[in-house]
């Protein structure tokens, strides 16, 4: 039976969610986290909704078997596909991440907002509802294949990908770029080279960390240390864990 001393499960389709994990650690240094990257089944964002749901269910079973007290879905795609269903099915707190369109809307000065995410995230009703409310001036840009470049740490290729993606737009008229996939957060240095300096680049990591803290506090589930991290993957651990550890240090 999970209690406040139990670990918090965090998962993504791959390594991108370690950026979220880093934000969670900063906000809640006294918590223990188990991070699971479902690398063997990545990417989620170009699968069907049903295939993605099946992957998420397997990850949930894996985390629940370790008696976690809460789950953070460090993946915009899995949140859009599965968060509502999982909350209906389980008692424990389930925190999701979504594209930071609201904060982008709030800082918009009449220019456009480029929203980068997986094809699935941009297709589903969760994003449609967000877009309906905060989508003025927002241009959704699906980025199939981009998460794979982060998995491979292929930043040169990612820079070429983004250069092509941005080519049709006048970047001097852009107020913000929303990173609606946790993998893309690791492309911030590349984006800094491509975007004018006044363009704000937003992600949902800090907001997700604050939300987790609020929910744990409300349910009296906050731990008081010692904190720590366990990294796990469904892929080749010898190859993937060092990448996760490197990105976690960088984040
Ligand atoms: N990191 C994931 C996200 O935030 C998805 C990448 C993928 O599996 O396609 O959307």
pLDDT tens per residue, range 168-200: 999 999 999 999 999 999 999 999 999 999 999
Q: From the candidates 52, 55, 143, 181, which is the catalytic residue?
A: 181
Classify 202 as helix, strand or coil: strand
- pLDDT reading at 221 higher than 90: yes
Residue 104 has a pLDDT of 98
Listed in sequence order, the residues at least 6 apart from 244 whose beta carbon sits closer than 8 Å to its beta carbon are: 15, 18, 35, 37, 231, 233
Q: Please state whether beta strands 94-95 and 70-73 pair in parallel, antiparallel, or not at all (unpaired).
A: parallel
pLDDT band of 206, cuts 50, 70, 90: very high
Residue 1 has a pLDDT of 85
Q: Across-strand partners of 32?
A: 228
pLDDT band of 222, cuts 50, 70, 90: very high
- pLDDT reading at 225 higher than 90: no
Between CA 176 and CA 171 the distance in angstroms is: 10
Question: Counting atoms of ligand 1 from 1, which one is nearest the CA of 17?
Answer: 1
> Going by CA atoms, what residue is nearest to atom 2 of ligand 1?
75
Question: Counting atoms of ligand 1 from 1, which one is nearest the CA of 46?
Answer: 9
Question: Counting atoms of ligand 1 from 1, which one is nearest the CA of 12?
Answer: 1
63-110: pLDDT as tens digits: 999 999 999 999 999 999 999 999 999 999 999 999 999 999 999 999
Buried b (16+ CB within 10 A) or exposed e, 163-182: eebbeeeebeebbbbbbbbb
Mean pLDDT within 35-43: 98
Instruction: Identify whether 75 is a catalytic site residue.
Output: yes
Ligand 1 centroid, distance to 17 Cα (angstroms): 8
75 lines ligand 1 (CB under 6 A): yes
2-13: pLDDT as tens digits: 999 999 999 999
- pLDDT reading at 36 higher than 90: yes
Question: Is 82 within 8 Å of 73 (Cβ atoms)?
Answer: yes
The model's pTM is 0.97
118 lines ligand 1 (CB under 6 A): yes
Q: Calculate the dihedral angle through the C-alpha atoms of 50, 119, 154, 168, rounding to the nearest 10 degrees.
A: 170
Tokens representing 56 are 């998420």
| Positive/negative CA dihedral, 134, 140, 144, 146 | negative
Burial class for 3, CB neighbours closer than 10 Å (0-12, 13-18, 19+): exposed
Question: Is 8 within 8 Å of 27 (Cβ atoms)?
Answer: no
108-159: pLDDT as tens digits: 999 999 999 999 999 999 999 999 999 999 999 999 999 999 999 999 999 9
């Amino acid at each position: 039976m999970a209690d406040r001393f139990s670990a918090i499960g965090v998962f993504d389709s791959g390594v991108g969610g370690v950026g979220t994990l880093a934000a969670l650690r900063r906000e809640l240094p006294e918590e223990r986290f188990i991070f699971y990257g479902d690398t063997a089944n990545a990417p989620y964002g170009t699968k069907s909704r049903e295939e993605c749901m099946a992957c998420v269910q397997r990850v949930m079973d894996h985390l629940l078997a370790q008696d976690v007290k809460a789950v953070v879905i460090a993946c915009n795609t899995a949140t859009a596909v599965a968060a509502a269903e999982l909350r209906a099915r389980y008692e424990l707190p389930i925190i999701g991440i979504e594209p930071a369109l609201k904060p982008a809307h709030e800082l918009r000065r009449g220019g456009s907002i480029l929203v980068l995410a997986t094809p699935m995230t941009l297709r589903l009703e969760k994003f449609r509802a967000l877009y309906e409310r905060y989508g003025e001036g927002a241009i959704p840009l699906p980025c199939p294949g981009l998460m794979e470049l982060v998995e491979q740490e292929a930043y040169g290729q990612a820079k070429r990908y983004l250069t092509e993606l941005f080519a049709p737009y006048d970047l001097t008229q852009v107020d913000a770029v929303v990173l609606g996939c946790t993998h893309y957060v690791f492309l911030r240095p590349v984006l800094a080279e491509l975007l004018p300096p006044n363009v704000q680049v937003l992600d949902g990591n800090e907001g997700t960390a604050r939300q987790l803290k609020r929910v744990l506090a409300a349910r009296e589930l906050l731990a008081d240390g010692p904190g720590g991290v366990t990294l796990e993957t469904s892929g080749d651990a010898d190859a993937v864990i060092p990448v996760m550890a490197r990105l976690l240090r960088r984040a």
